[in-house]
């Protein structure tokens, strides 16, 4: 039986004037996953999030969030969803707790009787209790991001949507947000993380989807995405031209020289069958390695674009 889905879309699209921002999107986000929504800037990630949250109406298709159709079921669904989209907007002259109190007061479903306790619990959850007396203008960017997540957690959430949560953070702030996301997922919250930072998705997420120019080009577990890449043979030899000739004769395609190495996609060939062929032609083999596909290789292959590896 398939795992339940926290987010599901079919044929979802959004058109602005004469431009398609998102086209025929079919997402499947398993409940309880940390789902990375990956793509270069401008690939349609934020527009998709806005459609999922009912902030913009789709031009085509449908979206279901926590089992209910959006935006029609927004009144029932959105109280179960926490979101941090395009950075938190806090008042710098107020403290963190005071900012959270403002947002909570504006929430018609929030219980004012438990406000103080809930704010304290949210701040503790994101590690900001000690900064309770500081004005937000004195916060680091990482602290502001964590305060934004605390705001999303003022009430229990089944789904947390984070748009570029580590954007602009220093390494320490990035680690803080990454650890927090893992902790939330461990407690059963589905976390949907949009990012253009490949390393963050690789370290933080269990599943991912790849967007390119408004279209979904792949999705699955990280292992599944890696597994679709090609293994490569890397041969260290002083006899480059002869090695290229032997490998091409053995049926390998796209054989290239990179400095003192010869590299080629392995396809279905086993590397141990190639060594005797090289030796028989007096090619000196100084080293031989098989390079497993990486997420970066796969994503560049899918999109034809580079990704920021570390930000």
Each residue of 149-187: pLDDT tens digit? 899 889 888 999 998 888 777 788 788 888 888 888 888
**pLDDT value at 64 more than 90:** yes
- Percent of the chain topping pLDDT 70: 92
Assigned token pair, 68: 């209910």
Task: Provide the pLDDT confidence category of residue 278 given band limits of 50, 70 and 90.
Answer: very high
The rounded distance, in Å, linking the Cα atoms of 70 and 62 is 7
Average pLDDT of span 122-139: 90
On the question of pLDDT at 310 being above 50, the answer is no
Mean pLDDT value across residues 289-300:
75
Write out the two tokens for 13.
């699209």
Arithmetic mean of pLDDT over the chain: 87
- Contact between 119 and 101 under an 8 Å Cβ cutoff? The reply is yes
Mean pLDDT of 12-37: 94
Cα gap 157→174, rounded to integer Å: 22
Residue 311: pLDDT band (50, 70, 90) is very low
Model pLDDT for residues 211-230, shown as the tens digit of each residue: 988 999 889 998 888 765 67
CA distance 217 to 223: 16
Q: In this structure, what token pair is assigned to residue 229?
A: 């890449």
What are 248-254's contacts with CB under 8 Å, separation 24+? 249/277, 250/274, 250/277
pLDDT of residue 309: 41
Query: Is the N-terminal amide bond of 168 cis, ω within 30° of 0?
Result: no
Provide the strand spans (E) within 154-286. 159-163, 190-195, 207-212, 215-221, 232-236, 256-258, 261-265
pLDDT in tens, 29-57: 999 999 999 888 888 999 999 999 999 99
Between the CA of residue 206 and those of 63, 188, 222, what are the distances in Å?
22, 13, 6
**Largest pairwise CA distance in the chain:** 83
pTM of the model: 0.76
pLDDT tens digits for range 240-260 = 999 999 999 999 989 999 988
Percent of the chain residues past pLDDT 90, beyond the cut: 51
Mean pLDDT calculated for residue range 74-90: 84
Average pLDDT over residues 58-75: 93
HSE at residue 291, side-chain half, CA atoms within 13 A, is: 18
User: Beta-strand (E) ranges in the chain?
Assistant: 5-16, 19-25, 28-30, 34-38, 60-65, 68-70, 81-84, 159-163, 190-195, 207-212, 215-221, 232-236, 256-258, 261-265, 287-291
Q: What distance in Å separates the CA atoms of residue 308 and residue 311, rounded to the nearest whole number?
A: 5
């Amino acid at each position: 039986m398939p795992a339940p889905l926290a987010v599901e879309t079919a044929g979802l699209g959004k058109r602005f004037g004469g431009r398609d921002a998102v086209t025929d999107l079919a997402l499947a986000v398993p409940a309880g996953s940390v789902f990375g929504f990956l793509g270069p800037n401008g690939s349609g990630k934020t527009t998709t999030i806005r459609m999922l949250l009912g902030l913009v109406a789709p031009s085509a298709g449908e979206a279901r969030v926590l089992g209910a159709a959006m935006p029609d079921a927004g009144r029932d669904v959105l109280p179960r969803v926490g979101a941090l989209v395009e950075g938190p907007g806090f008042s710098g002259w107020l403290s963190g707790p005071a900012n959270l109190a403002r947002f909570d007061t504006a929430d018609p479903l929030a219980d004012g009787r438990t406000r103080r306790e809930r704010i304290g619990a949210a701040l503790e959850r994101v590690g900001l209790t000690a900064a309770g007396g500081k004005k937000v203008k004195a916060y680091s960017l990482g602290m502001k991001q964590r305060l934004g997540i605390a705001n999303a957690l003022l009430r229990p959430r089944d789904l947390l949507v984070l748009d570029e949560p580590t954007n602009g953070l220093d390494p320490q702030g990035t680690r803080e947000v990454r650890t927090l996301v893992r902790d939330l997922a461990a407690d059963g919250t589905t976390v949907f993380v949009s990012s253009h930072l490949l390393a963050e998705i690789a370290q933080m997420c269990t599943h991912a989807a790849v967007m390119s120019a408004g279209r979904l080009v792949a999705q699955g577990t990280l292992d599944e995405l890696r597994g679709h890449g090609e293994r490569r043979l890397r041969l260290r030899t002083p006899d480059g031209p002869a090695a290229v000739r032997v490998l091409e004769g053995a049926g390998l395609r796209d054989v290239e020289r990179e400095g003192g190495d010869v590299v080629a996609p392995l396809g279905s060939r086993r590397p141990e069958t190639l060594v005797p062929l090289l030796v028989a032609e007096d090619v000196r083999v100084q080293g031989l390695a098989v390079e497993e596909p990486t997420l970066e290789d796969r994503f560049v292959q899918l999109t034809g674009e580079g990704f920021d590896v570390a930000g």
